[in-house]
Structures are given as C-alpha cells and as structure tokens.
Amino acid sequence: MTEISLTPETRICVTGGDGFLGRHLVSLLETSGYRDVFVPRIEDYDLKDITDIRRMYDDSGAEVVIHLAAVVGGIGANRENPGRFFYENAIMGLQLIEEARLRGVSKFVALGTICAYPKFTKVPFREEDLWKGYPEETNAPYGLAKKMLLVQSQAYRDQYGFNSIFLLPVNLYGPGDNFNPASSHVIPALIKKCIDAADAGAESITVWGTGKATREFFFVEDAARGILLATELYNDPDPVNLGAGFEISIRDLVGLIVELTGYRGRIEWDSSKPDGQPRRMLDTARARERFGFKATTDFRAGLRKTIEYYRSTLRDRS
C-alpha cells in the first residue's frame, strides 16, 4: 500500500463539500493551504449514478477523496425513509470506493456514523464494540449502510492495498446546521422550536420522547479539524471515533437550550414518540493516540454560536 504525504498541490475531492460539515471542512482545507479542493455539487453530479461518479473523478483528478455526502435526518426522517436511506447511502459509498480503487486514488476517507453502533452498546462506545449487536431500529438502515463502507475499506486494503480509512463522528451541531423541522437533528430542531415559540408568544412546546435518552454532541468546527488531521496523518485499517467525549440527557439539553434562547413557556413531552438509542457517548482515546485529535469547544459556547447563527441568518426566513 502506498501512503500519500499531502502537499498544498494535492488534489482533494470532498463529496458533500457543500453541506453542513462539508462547508466547514472545505474552508479549513483552504485556510490550511490546500489549493486544489474540488466539491462535486449535487446539481452537477448524482453520486448514486456510476456515470456521474466517473465524470466526477475525471473532472477532479482526485488523489484524495473525503466522502462526507450522505442522505440523513433525525428520528422522524429515518422512520419514514428506511429503504431510501439504506440504498442511497450504500450505493454512493460502494461505487465511490470501487471507482477510486480502479483509478489508483491514493487515499479514501470514509465517514461513518454513530448510528452504526449496537443499540445497547456499553458507554462509552469503543471501536471494538462496533460488531457486538444490532443498531437501534429507527436508524439501523442508515447506520448499516454506512457500516458497510468499513467492511469495504478493510477488504480492499487486504486484497488490493487500497488506503481507505473509516471515521465515526458523533452527532454534529453548529452554525450552518439544517433547521428544517422535517429532517433536522435534535439541537437545531430544539433551537428553532424555542426561538419561534418565543417570537410567537406560545405558551408551550412539545418535545419527542421522555427526555431520558442521552447523547453526545460534537461541534462542527472540531469535527472538521479531526477529519483533516486523520486525512493528513492516519493510515490504519481500524475505525476511529470522532467526538467530544461527554454525555447529556435530552431533558437536560432541552433545559439548556431553553435557558440560552430565553424561552419561558412550558415543555411538554410526547412519550408516544421514540427516544431512539438509550445512550450515546464515544470513547475518543484512539483519535487522540493515533493522530493527536481532541475536541476543544465548550458545549455552552458552541450552542450560543449555533443559536446566534439561527437568529441572525435563518429566523426571518422561517
């Protein structure tokens, strides 16, 4: 297997580079001195179509691919689209990796998801636990589709000497997040709900579940930095968690967002709706040991930045 040392001239292709995480990563690549960063936008390339994938590789001349593109959403979107989420995420990744191998791409960075972990994984989640059970049912199709890219990466490394690494980021949040109620994750959904309710003078808001489930949240700028470090420095077959290494209950998260947004109404819990996976928190030691990554953003500070983004950028469009 040939390992690549990245230089400012290295041709890097970032799928999903125009999305939430992608925009932060592309900005970081550019400020870090990389001069040839190619972003295949969805309007120009359908990454489910092998013809468009081949054209993307022709146009980019990529030496390194960072695959962020995904079809993703919160619990509701996962429940409504299990087949679509499985097929589209699987077919994108499988074909992108195969075509990269055929073209001699020097390095492929595949982004997985914490949804790939078994439903009742012992906290904190360690990479060794990845195969010790079935994922939480509401997001299993998405999680398993992404997990197959780890299998493919390791199989291609063994048979072809193909350098593909696999990263497992925890739930992201931050400026630029998706605030669409039909597809957003919990933090942007709650921020929008609280601010919009305060603006409307609503007496209460309703939150899904019981509030007992726990989650770990990872500021998007930290995530971009972790991905860049792995792209530059990590070349091993083992999957690597990327996260902040803390856990908060949804009930406490709601209380914190209510406090930071200034919403003063009641919180009503709809326990007929699913909580999702009972607990989530990553062991992040491997990232620290293998390529020196550690998250640095304080959670309250990250939430304030995200709230300010919604207020200053999106509030008037809602």
**Model pTM score:** 0.93
Give the sign of the dihedral formed by CA 205, CA 208, CA 209, CA 215: negative
Using DSSP bridges, classify how beta strands 214-215 and 248-249 pair: parallel, antiparallel or unpaired. Answer: antiparallel
pLDDT in tens, the chain (318 residues): 767 899 999 999 999 999 999 999 999 999 999 999 999 999 999 999 999 999 999 999 999 999 999 987 777 777 899 999 999 999 999 999 999 999 999 999 999 999 999 999 999 999 999 999 999 998 899 999 999 999 999 999 999 999 999 999 999 999 999 998 877 889 999 999 999 999 999 999 999 899 999 999 999 999 999 999 999 999 999 999 999 999 999 999 999 999 999 999 999 999 998 888 888 899 999 999 999 999 999 999 999 999 999 999 876 565
Residue 73, token pair as written in the block: 């959403």
Would you call 34 helix, strand, or coil by DSSP?
A: coil
Cβ contact 242:293 at 8 Å: yes
The amino acid sitting at 237 is P
Q: For the chain, what are the domain ranges?
A: 11-173+218-245
In whole angstroms, what is the distance from residue 316 CA to residue 318 CA?
6
From 34, 117, 142, 309, the catalytic residue? 142
Tell me, yes or no, if 156 is annotated catalytic: no
Among 3.40.50.10310, 3.10.20.30, 3.40.50.720, 3.55.10.10, what is the CATH number of 11-173+218-245?
Answer: 3.40.50.720
